[in-house]
Structure 1
Amino acid sequence: MALQDSGMKSQSIIKRVLHSSSWIGLGALASQGLRLLGNLILTRLLFPEAFGLMALVTVFIVGMKMFSDLASVLGFRKTIEEMIRFFSTRPGRFKSHGVSSCGGLPT
């Protein structure tokens, strides 16, 4: 209803998904193209050893970012599992950590 109230045309969800996906794909393609263009320019500006060092540093930085993303995902999963264990108790009381249901006061 919000779409009709704002005066926008009602489109099918499939058309909207395809339109959005095409913009995401074009953005990714443009990003990779600019990255290639930047690398081609840098190969002309830098001597081979400096370009190789830059490539190694880039690989290291990307690897560290991927590792930190993995660690944060695993940590988030562990937190969710702990929350599920904490809240899956009998009604009226939390078994874990001795916390009562009224106001979060310790029992």
Structure 2
Amino acid sequence: MGGSNGFGRTSGTPGGVSSGPAAPKSRPNRYYGTATLDATRVGRDAGRIAEEVIAHLSGLVGATVTVTLEIQASVPDGVPENVIRTVTENGRTLKFTTQGFEEG
């Protein structure tokens, strides 16, 4: 029954004022999200994110979805040389775009 719709306009029912067709509302066209995963359960957590977020976005027509994995590790006593070699080589083999060790 003709009344306000909460946006300062009244409905097009008898007694109300109609202002013609509404302009199409623009919709968001970008998404971003960051999650911290449990290092002991990365596979499980990443799998859930893939199923519950990424799949919905990548299924949209024309969507381009980029997923970036960022790893940060802090080792108070320092990283042993053999681990530095192993991690660096594995990162290279896995085609990491950036990687490195530093003193801090």
Establish whether TM, by shorter chain, passes 0.5: no
More helix as a share of residues:
1
> TM-score when scaled to structure 2?
0.26
TM-score normalised according to structure 1 size: 0.25
Higher relative contact order structure (alpha carbons within 8 Å, sequence separation ≥ 6): 2
